Structure 1
Amino acid sequence: MSSPTSSPTREQLRTEGFELIDEKLSYLTDCLAEALKSLGETELIPYLPWSGSVPDDNPPEGTQQLYSIGFQLLNMVEERVASAIRREREKALGSTSIRGLWPRALKDLSALGFSPKEIVDVLGDVDVQPVLTAHPTEAKRGSVRERHRALYELLARTENQKYTDREKHRTRERIITAMETLWRTGEIHVVRPDIFRELRDAIHYLRDLFPLALDRLDLHFTEAWREAGFPLTELRSGGYIPRLSFGTWIGGDRDGHPLVTPEVTAKALDQLRRGAFQLLHRELEHLGTQLTLSCHLNPVSEDLEIRIDELAFTLGDEETATEIHDRFHEEPWRHLVSLMAARMKKQVEGGHGYQSKEMLADDLDLLSESIRATGCTLIEEQYIRPIRQKLDVFGFHLATLDVRQNSEFHDKAISQLLEAAKIPDGENYGSWPEEKRVAFLNEELQSARPFLHDTASAGTEADLVLDCYRVLADHLSQHGHGGLGSLIVSMTRQLSDLLGVFLLAREAGLTEITNDGPVCPLEVVPLFETIDDLENAPGILGDFLAHPVVKRQKAECQQVMLGYSDSNKDCGILSAAWALHEAEENLTEVGKQHGIKLRFFHGRGGTISRGAGPTHWFMAALPHGSLAGGFRMTEQGETIGQKYANPANATFNLELLVAGAAITTATHRLPSPGREPAKDFLPELTKVSQKAYQTLIRAEGFIDFYRQVTPIDALENSRIGSRPARRTGNKGHSISDLRAIPWVFSWTQARFYLPGWFGVGSGLHHLKTESPERFAAFKEAVRQSTFLGYTLTNVETNLASANLDLMKAYAELVTDAELRERFMEIIIAEFERTRDLLAEIFDGHMAERRPRMAKTLEIREAPLRVLHRQQVHLLKEWRALVAAGKDSEAEALFPRLLLSINAISSGLRTTG
């Protein structure tokens, strides 16, 4: 530890962090040994990770679970230490030393010349929405995550230096007990979780974790604002800024998920609404305990007294109203809040209460005004303002629910409708030329009349789409827009894919009649995913924004979703990254031409191969002018737990997200800094990179190689998420049908990380051998390019996470020696090429330049090696049983294989 009389340097803080990781990990490992001893699992104690040498012989079967829990503890320790070191860094170097957080963001905004008033103006446009999805990348059960939360809280208690030895011993005993429980809690999903279990998990974050993080986030922002010397009155004049809200796909994403029925969507909307009522009831109950002001010491407004009488009368529960009056009639503010809480409790139980969030907001406004009239402004600021903000953020819906469906599914639905309505050649709508489709839709969308009566059935696809839209229309009529997101069309490839949604909405009654014609009350959003679709996206969006049916919406903003997963799977990481960058730049220009702001929805996954990376750096690398304030991004699978499982981590990650959006939005308002420094090199680089990648995955025999060298067959049979691994549900030999998640997941498990780097080395090698001078210029451009710095650093991270020896071990699973040697030779050559050229570009290998990343990889490698060797053996044994038709024996072995997948996922901190 550094001397208390001198401020530590960044290097000293890093070293201190490494020492803290070792110290805390040793403590928890000792506790785990005690738990194993108590449980009678003494034969596993010699195999504890990080307690000595990792065994090379065949360890007992329980080592999979042992190492999995060991990695879970390591992940916990790293999160806790990162938080502690940030605190030490702030004390030693000041709050502005931490990049990405509010103090630094406000300092940077001031340095850019923004006044407090101009900053408030920028923040008024910032609207950030993380969208929770349930893609099958969370391998751990909810019960395990509950045990993790308990352990994290106990670990935090060990840091209290003022505890007595008795209290420290008590905490240690509780940690050991928690580990006993964790050991006996089943880690893996024996049966596939259903959608509502996934929704319950999401509601836990939305209802129980994010509100607490929101309080801390608002406090951090207010403190940073004051520290910057800005007037608080200026900030409060802007309302609740910057805006943060939440979305979800769980119960609405039906792209290739046949279990997301209209009934599921209806139930999801109801559960989200009930979760919001539970949140607000809890907040009101707590608020009441703070408002103990006496009517004998404070002036009570007539409006307050009248409202108390009104609420007591309309509560419809004389006994409860009388009890509240008897307890709190001398504390009128508590009296009012208690009646408000009682009314909200009725709504939690399914009864009548507040008809809208605006009605509740009126009561909270009355509270604020009357409290301020007493002169108690701090009470209003610290207790009432936070709940008003939560009502603004979570409303009566917790999160907005998007509905996503594939364009091909919509085509089938429209074909069935047209066939049922006896439209000539209607059954072949899906294969009509685009001109014919658009002409037909243009004519139909001028009319409000449907093809069929709402009780008529046209076919499976048509019924599913229309019944889903009827659920949305019903929710809209009962509860208004709150809770309803957008209608997202995945695989948008032409204008008619979007216009067809308006036709389906009309058919389901999801339209509003205006003087200009029928209007869809929900936004229709294109999702551009493949490389071809990204290239065509600007033309499609331009035609869409110019279309009468869209113009009559009179919207000032249009949402556009970009898919990071399928574009990468399609053409490789470098080509996908540049295609996305150019598409966003060109789409932004289209929006400007039509006078429409674009709100990009970034479909990023939990791994670099699917768009992940440090959020604030990701934003900084966006094309200039593309972030106008509105920003959406998916949060998927295990990433949700990693970022938001505890309040401290949730606050930190949300602050990175919102502060990053604020500084980027402000920067994008300034004049353009000029052309992308590496723009002259990227067309050539990406062309060669894409060719190398596609040559590999399209080569004869590659599918057979891939299905044997990775555990993709085990993942297709896993019970990780509710959604199938393939869009069509078929287990055929088709990469195009395979979802990007299992594609990346399988390569990650086998330690290839192939989608995250393959092709990059070929592009760089071509540039260097064709023109050494241009390569030198490119190297200089990388230093000036935020986009390339971000992209290539992510590629380097994937390379460092891959392991050549383990790749070769998995390659032994390929039964055809010629196939194995042919593809391994190509992959190894590209791996070494990419690694060496990146080291040349960055002037040194990653381990030298990024010691923290090197540390987190190094500490995991030895126990991971044991797990990988076990998995290779299990895969070989399981596949042999399957091939021999010994289904019962294969099924009996499968849980061990699933545990192996889970353990490796914990060690790598990622799945797909």
Structure 2
Amino acid sequence: MITTTSSVIDFEKAERDFLFLLLCFQEVLRDLGEDELAEHLPSENRSIPLERYPNSERALQAFSIFFQLLNMAEENSAAQNRRMLEAEQGLAHLTGLWGRTLLRFRERGITEKEIGNLLPEVSIDAVLTAHPTEAKRKTVLEQHRQLYLLLVQRENQMWTPLEKLDIRNEIKVVIERLWRTGEILFEKPEVSDERRNVIHYLHNIFPEVLPMLDKRLLQAWRDTGFHTASLSDPRNLPRLSFGSWVGGDRDGHPLVTAEVTEETLGDMRQNALALVLRHLRQLASKLSFSERLQPPGKELLLRIETLCQKLGDKSIAAMQRNRHEPWRQFLNLMIASLPLEADRSGALHIAVESDRYGSSDELLEDLSLLRQSLLDVGAQHIADTEVVPVYRIVQTFGFHLGKLDIRQNSHFHDLALSQLMTASGLNGNDFLEWDEPARRAFLDRELQSPRPFTHPDMSVGAEAETLLACYKVLLNHCKMYGTDGIGSLIVSMTRNASDLLVIYLFAREVGLMTPFGDGDACILPVVPLFETIEDLQKSPAILQEFLHHPVTQRSLQYQKTKAGKTKAVQKVMIGYSDSNKDGGIFASTWALYRAQEALLEAAEKSNTDILFFHGRGGSISRGAGPTHRFIKAQPHGSFHAGICFTEQGETIAQKYANRISAVYNLELFMAGVASAMIRQRKNEKRAHPLEAVMDMLSEKSNQAYRKLIEAEGFLAFFREATPIDIIESSRIGSRPSRRSGQTSLKDLRAIPWVFSWNQARFSLSGWYGVGSALEHLHTTNPDTFDEIRVRSHAWPPLRYIISNADTSMASADLQIMHQYAELVGDSTIREHILGMIEAEYHRTKKYIELLFAEPLEIQRMNVNKFIAPRREGLEILHRQQIKLLKEWRKLKESDRAEEAESILHELFLTINAISGGLRTTG
């Protein structure tokens, strides 16, 4: 359950807003002849079983809209309550944001200069992904956005009664459109659909959010009593950047072809250039300064002359417009220098010509010159208000919009290299059988040679051809536009250093290597992804071996020089989802913490900074949780190179679809990282006295979790007691739910694993094992347990684990678990596995309550306030889903596929509605 804003929600206002929206919805239903449905929506104990409705599909949709309206009212309440608290008590009132952060800096005696020097080192990189978690159509999400904007519009107190009525009628129109629009995808979305959705956020939402973030920082800076002169230069502000996996992530995704990657890179570039063009045109319309009233300055005139010479005849039109207005003429020349061309119809196309800007850095230099020329004539307010926001747009989005990461599985790379070896006359099958030393010896020999394995016309195997085709697309893009639009070559399931070094051979094969120093360097970063607990434990040794390799050292130095950095930076991705599926919430979270500590030490030996890439999902089981607590719970030194994190599935819409929420969520990251960096610089790294206890708790939790998932009959229980088979049949994402066609738990992706447990209200991936660990500590070392009870809130890593497990417990429901467990045909398996789960549930509840010294219902009051208005409707939906699951599975077993297919859509509706009620999928 998404509860990151629960602490600031005004639940009374949320209830008022919701009742208003609900009344509008009921009126719409009555107008359309759905009187019974309008009367029996899940509120005030007036609901009736869904089977009583003549059209259960329509009833399911009504329940889904009911929850959507409730979620919207709560989101708006949180946003408006934050605004009210800031208006009444100042920016410093809210935890985790710039106002409170800067005030605490000042109270601790940290100088304005120290903070100002830190800010440009704060680097936040949000990477949007399209994992199969978003259960709603893009069309439906757009209706939600319109509805939310109308709800916000309604907040204005200046409206006349007629204007208020107009807003109310507009709300009813949008609700009716929702009612008339199918919520479920009948076909799986294509990658192009997911790409359009990501580009919508990068092109339309985040560019509007960026200046709002900067304004909030500047206002908080003023409120703290600092001088804003140092922040008027945009180069002194924190850096925000974006990335995407859509069109680049091919791990188990056969639809992400080389052609898809090429289209994606082109679409991203074209949208970025269109974004920059729009802002430059708007800026040009505002800078109507006459040279007769202020001198333009020698540097500006010289640059205008240089651009005219470079553009040749293309500069004539730019200079003929706006005579005697050199600032506008300069902007006209900037616009003419963009690598973008309009055809006769006005459509924009990417242009590659020597007289255009080669990179966004050249445009930034011209914008800096423009800003300085305005400062020279005393127009600082105009420079700050008009030029700086455009500079920030170019600085953030460049000519690429967001960096596209390329991810593939290490096993796929093994197959590809084996095929390349065979094609070149070697025995490729040997490579698949070699141990790590043999692989390393072979790779070391090969990497000393510049020759490729194959010639252009040679035929190689399927995996090798797929991989090389992708890398050739990357090479061509780099040749034409540089590397700015491409992120990293990510190796998922990194198990050994050889999994990373093979990438250099693929890069050599297509020409992504370049001479540097005494050998070759890879022009794109190679990034490990450590996912399972075992791989996280091995990760420091793997990284150290990788960093010591000569090709890696040259590559990092090449990339450092190109980026203008003072120290080499190695990005390392750590996975929350698979480690959780592998070992449970406690073991996963602590293994990630320990791995980061050890990785930082390994990198320091190579004089390298680590940029951690957190593969977080939308649920607590997959790394989500309150942002400020997440940041505080990271180990010392982990933000020195910034932070990178994924935003997945429905989380993107929940956190960023509405601009007020987007500003809030990004500010939490920016202010939180700044706070952590200052705190860690002021304090030396020290071992915490509870670390050894955490190691033990992690181990005991892992043992309890593994005992469950390895128990005889567990997989059968999971497949029958949850709607995993429906989720696997759904059309909610372009990616398959399994990496291969196998039906093992290991092969199942972590997202449907979490999704299915949440749907059946077990939520066990968010809490299972915590109770056994705490019970063991309480029994064997009661004094330490008591110390944790007293100090659990004082140490962020422990607090983060316990509070997340506690929140997950709140969304679990024993009664509903039992109802789903009745779907398990084998009573022995059912009683055994359910007995283990129920015993751990009670155990976890008992010991968390002992830690907090009060019942969970009181400790997590806000979470329970979320659940209360949803409880009745969710119970009805769960009963309907269970009924339909029984029917569907019976039809499937009887080979009545056509009849089974006929009720599948209704099952998808239950999944969608329950997801809306819980505010989470996987």
TM range (shorter): over 0.9
- Residue 891 of structure 1 is matched in structure 2 by 901
- Residue 10 of structure 1 is matched in structure 2 by none
- Distance between the aligned counterparts of 1:436 and 1:180, measured in 2? 66
1:343–1:894: structure 2 CA closer, same or farther, 3 Å change rule? farther
* Contact 2:131 2:735 (8 Å CA) reproduced: yes
**Secondary structure at 2:195's aligned position in 1?**
helix
Q: Choose the corresponding residue for 1:91, options 87, 91, 109.
A: 87
- Residue 652 of structure 2 is matched in structure 1 by 640
- Residue 835 of structure 1 is matched in structure 2 by 845
- Residue 380 of structure 1 is matched in structure 2 by 383
Is the aligned partner of 1:101 residue 2:94? no
- Residue 780 of structure 1 is matched in structure 2 by 790
| TM superposition shift of 1:259 | 1.0
**Secondary structure at 2:647's aligned position in 1?**
strand
**Secondary structure at 2:792's aligned position in 1?**
helix
> For residues 484-540 of structure 1, what are the alpha-carbon distances to aligned partners after superposition, in whole Å with 9 as ceiling and x for unaligned?
111111111111111111111111211001231111011111111111111111111
- Distance between the aligned counterparts of 2:450 and 2:8, measured in 1? 68
* Aligned-CA RMSD value: 2.1
- Distance between the aligned counterparts of 1:302 and 1:122, measured in 2? 34
- Distance between the aligned counterparts of 1:359 and 1:855, measured in 2? 53
- Distance between the aligned counterparts of 2:391 and 2:569, measured in 1? 26
- Residue 563 of structure 2 is matched in structure 1 by none
- Residue 66 of structure 1 is matched in structure 2 by 62
- Distance between the aligned counterparts of 2:800 and 2:831, measured in 1? 33
- Distance between the aligned counterparts of 1:244 and 1:15, measured in 2? 25
- Distance between the aligned counterparts of 2:829 and 2:17, measured in 1? 46
| TM superposition shift of 1:781 | 4.2
Q: Choose the corresponding residue for 2:328, options 316, 327, 334.
A: 334
Is the aligned partner of 1:120 residue 2:110? no
| TM superposition shift of 1:307 | 6.0
**Secondary structure at 1:519's aligned position in 2?**
strand
- Distance between the aligned counterparts of 1:477 and 1:349, measured in 2? 18
Is the aligned partner of 1:657 residue 2:669? yes
Is the aligned partner of 1:346 residue 2:341? yes
Is the aligned partner of 1:568 residue 2:570? no
- Residue 630 of structure 2 is matched in structure 1 by 618
1:306–1:778: structure 2 CA closer, same or farther, 3 Å change rule? closer
* Contact 1:441 1:499 (8 Å CA) reproduced: yes
- Residue 704 of structure 2 is matched in structure 1 by 692
Is the aligned partner of 1:844 residue 2:854? yes
1:590–1:308: structure 2 CA closer, same or farther, 3 Å change rule? closer
- Residue 497 of structure 1 is matched in structure 2 by 499
* Contact 2:26 2:39 (8 Å CA) reproduced: no
**Secondary structure at 1:780's aligned position in 2?**
helix
- Distance between the aligned counterparts of 2:277 and 2:884, measured in 1? 50
- Distance between the aligned counterparts of 2:16 and 2:98, measured in 1? 31
* Contact 1:249 1:403 (8 Å CA) reproduced: yes
- Distance between the aligned counterparts of 1:272 and 1:64, measured in 2? 38
Stretches of structure 1 that go unaligned for 5 or more consecutive residues are 1-12
Q: Choose the corresponding residue for 2:551, options 539, 549, 552.
A: 549
* Contact 2:517 2:554 (8 Å CA) reproduced: no
The count of aligned residue pairs is: 895
Q: Which amino acid aligns with 1:635?
A: E
- Residue 713 of structure 2 is matched in structure 1 by 701
- Residue 43 of structure 1 is matched in structure 2 by 36
Alignment of 1:236-385 (within 5 A): 236=232, 239-301=235-297, 304=300, 322=317, 328-329=322-323, 331-338=325-332, 340-341=334-335, 344=338, 346=341, 348-351=348-351, 353-385=356-388
> For residues 11-38 of structure 1, what are the alpha-carbon distances to aligned partners after superposition, in whole Å with 9 as ceiling and x for unaligned?
xx98981210111001111111122223
**Secondary structure at 1:405's aligned position in 2?**
strand
1:473–1:673: structure 2 CA closer, same or farther, 3 Å change rule? closer
* Contact 2:39 2:46 (8 Å CA) reproduced: no
* Contact 2:234 2:391 (8 Å CA) reproduced: no
* Contact 1:628 1:668 (8 Å CA) reproduced: no
| TM superposition shift of 1:704 | 0.9
1:238–1:881: structure 2 CA closer, same or farther, 3 Å change rule? same
Q: Choose the corresponding residue for 2:910, options 900, 903, 909.
A: 900
1:809–1:630: structure 2 CA closer, same or farther, 3 Å change rule? same
- Residue 468 of structure 1 is matched in structure 2 by 470
| TM superposition shift of 1:303 | 5.7
| TM superposition shift of 1:699 | 1.3
- Distance between the aligned counterparts of 1:371 and 1:428, measured in 2? 67
1:795–1:254: structure 2 CA closer, same or farther, 3 Å change rule? same
- Residue 406 of structure 2 is matched in structure 1 by 403
1:306–1:123: structure 2 CA closer, same or farther, 3 Å change rule? closer
Is the aligned partner of 1:207 residue 2:203? yes
> For residues 55-78 of structure 1, what are the alpha-carbon distances to aligned partners after superposition, in whole Å with 9 as ceiling and x for unaligned?
346342122111111111111111
Alignment of 1:855-866 (within 5 A): 855-866=865-876
1:306–1:769: structure 2 CA closer, same or farther, 3 Å change rule? closer
Is the aligned partner of 1:748 residue 2:758? yes
- Distance between the aligned counterparts of 1:547 and 1:777, measured in 2? 45
**Secondary structure at 1:136's aligned position in 2?**
coil
Stretches of structure 2 that go unaligned for 5 or more consecutive residues are 1-5, 343-347, 561-567
- Distance between the aligned counterparts of 1:548 and 1:359, measured in 2? 33
- Distance between the aligned counterparts of 2:7 and 2:743, measured in 1? 47
* Contact 1:600 1:631 (8 Å CA) reproduced: yes
* Contact 1:557 1:596 (8 Å CA) reproduced: yes
- Distance between the aligned counterparts of 2:350 and 2:796, measured in 1? 52
- Residue 227 of structure 1 is matched in structure 2 by 223
* Contact 2:778 2:785 (8 Å CA) reproduced: yes
- Distance between the aligned counterparts of 2:21 and 2:263, measured in 1? 42
> For residues 803-827 of structure 1, what are the alpha-carbon distances to aligned partners after superposition, in whole Å with 9 as ceiling and x for unaligned?
1111111112112222211211111
- Distance between the aligned counterparts of 2:232 and 2:306, measured in 1? 31
Question: Please, what TM-score do these two structures have when normalized by structure 1?
Answer: 0.95
| TM superposition shift of 1:316 | 8.5
Q: Which amino acid aligns with 1:145?
A: L
Is the aligned partner of 1:392 residue 2:398? no
- Residue 7 of structure 1 is matched in structure 2 by none
1:57–1:226: structure 2 CA closer, same or farther, 3 Å change rule? closer
- Residue 603 of structure 2 is matched in structure 1 by 591
**Secondary structure at 2:570's aligned position in 1?**
strand
Identical positions, percent: 46
Is the aligned partner of 1:674 residue 2:686? yes
Q: Which amino acid aligns with 1:647?
A: R
* Contact 2:230 2:236 (8 Å CA) reproduced: no
* Contact 2:569 2:641 (8 Å CA) reproduced: no
| TM superposition shift of 1:209 | 0.4
* Contact 2:319 2:332 (8 Å CA) reproduced: no
* Contact 2:613 2:644 (8 Å CA) reproduced: yes
**Secondary structure at 1:793's aligned position in 2?**
helix
- Distance between the aligned counterparts of 1:163 and 1:47, measured in 2? 33
Deviation larger for 229-238 or 786-795: 229-238
- Distance between the aligned counterparts of 2:631 and 2:860, measured in 1? 21
Q: Choose the corresponding residue for 1:807, options 817, 841, 845.
A: 817
> For residues 136-176 of structure 1, what are the alpha-carbon distances to aligned partners after superposition, in whole Å with 9 as ceiling and x for unaligned?
11111111111111111111111111110010001101111
Question: Please, what TM-score do these two structures have when normalized by structure 2?
Answer: 0.94
